[in-house]
Structure 1
């Protein structure tokens, strides 16, 4: 796809779907090192109020992790790339239990983690994420290893690649399916969907939003099917905050 344009000014009658790491928050060396500031929490709260609740976070993190990180238990959220989802009413939807193959892969990774302690294995419950942020030179090794393990023991599983991470997850569910589910429910139903993300795992979300003739926004310069671009986390926050000032003027 060619160079994407700057997105149009957001509208309060859109449905907002937002990735977290790399989109609303700067990526840290490890997931646990991410810092959340009160300005972001205020921004999310304002967007939620002014869009009458049509805001959902769509993340690779687990819902437990998102709640602990952000402290927003009433906000709709999809975690683990859509495998778990909390709707507007607070109901929890789980799409897959961790298969036995996932446990076998975790056991098989143990020797590699001993050999390469700079690799970090994150067990999110429904997925396994192997991070190599602290050792980017091990990228090829990490991808080959996870590919081999999924091909030999991963029936019903698939690989999800991201920024310095490769993840094993149940097949067939992703950020795009999570957005599609939200769009069938109030308060998202009937609105124009917008999804903002930065990573390879966000491409499913962009594809679904494009299918719905919505606003897909890629953060950064990497190749993407998204129709629009913002350069970085600061630009995402500014785009949302500046628009809401305009909403205030119209009310």
Structure 2
């Protein structure tokens, strides 16, 4: 599993979002409070952020634990942004992909993270591979379930799906192929956030005035935090949050053949 967070709002130093709060993403790398699977998120970390007047985000990623990178602490003190996506990683399986496996993944203006695991990876996902163009499979940034999920989402975005539909349809597709999967996805283009709650916790906070945070778990004890129900797709902007249910393929009765 992993922990991740996205923020939209007034410009803030990265540290004010990621390292300074009492239960920050930094602390969640070794002491998450609401993580249901795994205990330590030390297999890499990353942060992506947007600069003014530039739609393409910057990224900083490393293969090791966030607490071992003193350069990041210094960077987070001075870099400011009004749109951020960050994650700390607990690998599904051991691998040699290093920082390439750490979220956020990116293409153009998009930043993406997956908190969870595809059950039975990689065998369970093999039947879905033909749904992707060969060039997308050959261009996977890492040989991980999260990189494959990102390829599925990105293919839908490039085909014209809006962010919520791209995430929701990808989750349903994966849940049908591998029913025990955990599929909390997080996506931003610097203007909006889309996310899914599917198998693990997802929280959001809309502060008075502009500013929205969507995260695996609250980074402080502010009573404004609210939990999204499981099987939900969330869309957010600086103005607020909308929730919609996601239908579980396992709950849809199969059609009996005519006789």
- For this structure pair, what is the TM-score category when the shorter chain's length is used for normalisation? 0.3 to 0.5
| Structure with the higher fraction of residues in strand conformation | 2
More helix by share: 1
TM-score (norm 2): 0.36
Give the structure, 1 or 2, with the largest relative contact order (CA under 8 Å, sep 6 or more).
1
Q: Give TM-score scaled by structure 1 length.
A: 0.37
